[in-house]
Chains A and B, each alone.
Chain A
Amino acid sequence: MATTSENQAGSFRLGMLIYDTRYRSMTIQVVFMFLFMAGAVWLIDNTITNLSALGKDFNFGFLDVRAGYDINQRLIEYTNDSSHGRAWAVGLLNTLLLALFSCVTATVIGVIAGVLRLSKNWIISQLMNLYVEMFRNVPVLLWIVIIFAVLTEATPAPNAFRGENPTASMLFFDTVAITNRGVYVPGPLFTQSLGAINLGVISVSINFLLISAVVIGSIYANIRLRRHASAVQEATGDRPVTWWKSLLILFAPLIAVLAALGFHLDYPTLQGFNFQGGSYMRNSFTAMWLALSVYTGAFIAENVRAGILAISKGQTEAAFALGLRPNRTMNLVILPQALRVIIPPLISQYLNITKNTSLGIAVGYMDMRSTLGGITLNQTGRELECMLLLMVTYLTASLIISGAMNVYNNSVKLKER
């Protein structure tokens, strides 16, 4: 904007606040700020008036008070003598557990369905089309209640497994039992357990820490090995054979540690009226997990399909012209470019999964919304504090996930100039 105003320089009139483009944006912002602050003050003032009229105050002291209710699925120690704050933590962990499981399976389902939808086989691509359209156009809440109903109504009761000629049988060589009370799967046990270390608020199993450390160490060593192989290839032109070294590095330490700890599986068996032993997955968890996975999987399938279609055919042809074999074309040329298109929408699908875990209320899954935003809220009557904490926690989780994924996204982004 070329504003030549030589004769006006120095003389400032009030009208210039509106008509002079140099000052107008300032004026608008100041007015906007006043309106915004007036609105905020109005809301806060109303809240204070209403709270005092109800005789309530605004504090978070209730988090230290005994909760007095049980939570049926807990990853950390919790009894009904624990505090509301701990119930919140238990709920948060359940939310994150469900989100993590669902993200992994949704990605697997989505990638498979997305690739198959592009299949040249007409029947397969139409079946995948049916899957995608069916799940994308029906509310996720409906899928959650449908799958929950299937799990509780259409599966056999534990006593159907009993007797000489049971009407139901366990799956996978008698290791998995699907009953209307939940799914029983083999659970890990250690004969030489190292116990747990108590970190004040939570106790962590040393077995778990050790196994995680070994796995992370193996993966890191494998990355170093591959880098070394690439360096040798750059220098000499020959890529050393690494696959058996990779297998050794990845699995030998893990197997050694598991053997040292005396790892074995504990199979569920029918005792009394129910199954005992193994790990028990509640129907609420299974229903949420399956529903979120297949529902979001349909969306991810569309993202994957769009990503692959976005890569022009010339890329494949160019790779073939360079003499790359089809699998290396896929790995080195197509996938890295397709991922760049796929990852941003994938991040928002992960965020959607995390937020959709709050629908667990429909099937009684004890996530954060059901503990902090459900029972705690009803027992203490502190709607304002509970909802605030709930929103802040979800917001933090969302921001962390999107932040982490954005870092990854930036690392694979096309580097332009």
Chain B
Amino acid sequence: MANPSKNNIAYVRTTMLTEQAPPITAAGPVLWIRTNLFSGPFNTIATLVGLYCVYWLVGHIGPWFLYSVWNANSLAECREILNGVNAACFGVIKDRWHQLLFGFYPPEAYWRPTLAFVLMIVAMAPILFESVPRKVLWFSAIFPALAFWLLWGGTIWFSVVGMLGFGIGYAVYRALVKNMLLATIAAVLVPILFWLFLLGPISGALSEALPIGIRKIDSDEFGGFMISIIIGVTGIALSLPIGVLLALGRKSDLLLVKWICVGFIEFIRGVPLITLLFTASLLLNYFLPPGTNFDIVLRVVIMVTLFAAAYMAEVIRGGLAALPQGQYEAADALGLDYWKAHRLIIMPQALKISIPGIVNTFIGLFKDTTLVVFIGILDPIGLSNAIRADSNWNGIYWELFGFIALCFFIFCFSMSRYSQYLENKLKTDHR
């Protein structure tokens, strides 16, 4: 049609067609289902197998939850209510809720660990989230002593005078700051001497003069998730700085320091935690002066911390190794000394790189707190055995295990989510 005349054209559209929705198979849920679930024969088979798995799981676990019994005081009563239906008996968790949380801690003092837990969240908030006012960090600094006093009880002066040690160390440092070397040594030595020789007498005298205190509770009454959280959180807080020092030691030019750090790290990483815990409970009395006997929870915390610190050191060493050599050279070129270079340039970047590894170590540490059951501390798993030993609840497994697993899952999963949030927040590259 080289020269179309008006007559032989039947119809010419003069307006644009209104935009139409795409075909149902090319957009929306149908497209998603087609591309993600049924894109080919293999994919279809996989989807059907997957759907069957889901159906099987839901079909078995669903009714178990749906018909579960929450109001029962023994397994027999529970089975009577269920009348042959195979379902969960969560009455055990309601019945033993306090025991699972606090172990054999005296019931009238349950407010103390609860308060300590709430305060712990407050103390951790400014460390975890930048938006929290910085002044709360002062509370974080005194929280350890406060938590110690709340959990173990006794006189408050022990905690107060213990915290004073840090103040003394700082004061000594300020007084001698002209001579950096002397100031550093004195700031470490003076508080240690203070704690070793003056802490006991001073706090004793103060509590005689002004007895402020709450009931003292021994470690063997601790148990349940409380003990897991105490050991886990203390271990997490202490293992990071020790791990950093060990990692630096392993990379150090000082041969002796290096070899001692290497030996320590490889030894700890080569043996199972359980042997270290047995060492803590069986052998520590051999290594200490006759007559010393210190708290089993403290021993466990020390061992768990050392164990996690060795793994932490390797994670941080990985971060240090991943840092380009230019960063070290740039720090040297700026004239920074070793500690300043590491504090201002190297460590912030190395720690950022190793966040996933660090949080994995934290999660591992928290999960490893369950091993204390082998040295007679009643953690949740130990308590599940104790509860089963009661004739009321003899033969109950899945409800208890499920509950414990769920609690651990919540803690560990939130830690790993937080690490992802932190990674995204600190991401500075432009990829």
Contacts and interface: CB of A to CB of B under 8 A. Distances in A.
A153 interface: yes
Interface stretch (B134-142, B347-355, B365-373): B365-373
Interface in A27-62: 28-29, 32-33, 36, 43, 46-47, 49-51, 53
B413 A137 contact: yes
A395 B271 CA distance: 6
Interface stretch (B15-23, B46-54, B114-122, B160-168): B46-54
A399 interface: yes
A146 interface: yes
A127 B370 contact: no
Interface stretch (B61-69, B212-220, B279-287): B279-287
B275 A121 contact: no
Interface string B28-53: 00000001110100010011011101
Contacts of A18: 181
A174 B229 CA distance: 49
A325 interface: no
A349 to B, nearest CB: 12
Contacts of A231: none
A288 B404 CA distance: 19
Interface string A109-137: 00000000001111110010000011011
A51 B286 contact: yes
B133 interface: no
Given A33-B256, A358-B275, A46 B286 contact: yes
Contact of A398 (B46, B270, B285): B270
Contacts of B287: 43, 46-47
Contact of A387 (B260, B278, B381): B278
B272 interface: yes
A383 interface: yes
Contact of A137 (B53, B271, B283, B412): B412
Interface in B312-370: 363, 367-368, 370
Contacts, number: 147
Interface residues of A, number: 52
A36 B255 CA distance: 14
Nearest to A357: B272
Contact of B37 (A123, A134, A137): A123
B267 interface: yes
B38 to A, nearest CB: 9
Given A29-B254, A153-B397, A123 B50 contact: yes
Nearest to A344: B318
A265 interface: no
A363 to B, nearest CB: 12
B70 interface: no
Contacts of A373: 275, 278
Given A53-B290, A387-B283, A139 B43 contact: no
B408 to A, nearest CB: 5
B271 A394 contact: yes
Nearest to B388: A149
5 contacts: A51-B286, A138-B409, A138-B412, A145-B381, A369-B274
Given A139-B368, A387-B282, A398-B271, 4 more contacts: A25-B253, A121-B46, A140-B367, A355-B272
Interface of A: 18, 25, 28-29, 32-33, 36, 43, 46-47, 49-51, 53, 119-124, 127, 133-134, 136-142, 145-146, 149, 153, 351, 355-356, 358-359, 361-362, 369, 373, 383-384, 387, 390-391, 394-395, 398-399
Interface of B: 35-37, 39, 43, 46-47, 49-51, 53-54, 181, 253-257, 260, 266-267, 269-275, 278-279, 282-283, 285-290, 363, 367-368, 370-371, 373-374, 381, 384, 395, 397-398, 401, 404-405, 408-409, 412-413, 416
**What are the 6 closest A-B residue pairs judged by CB atoms, nearest first?**
A123-B50, A137-B412, A398-B270, A139-B367, A395-B270, A355-B272
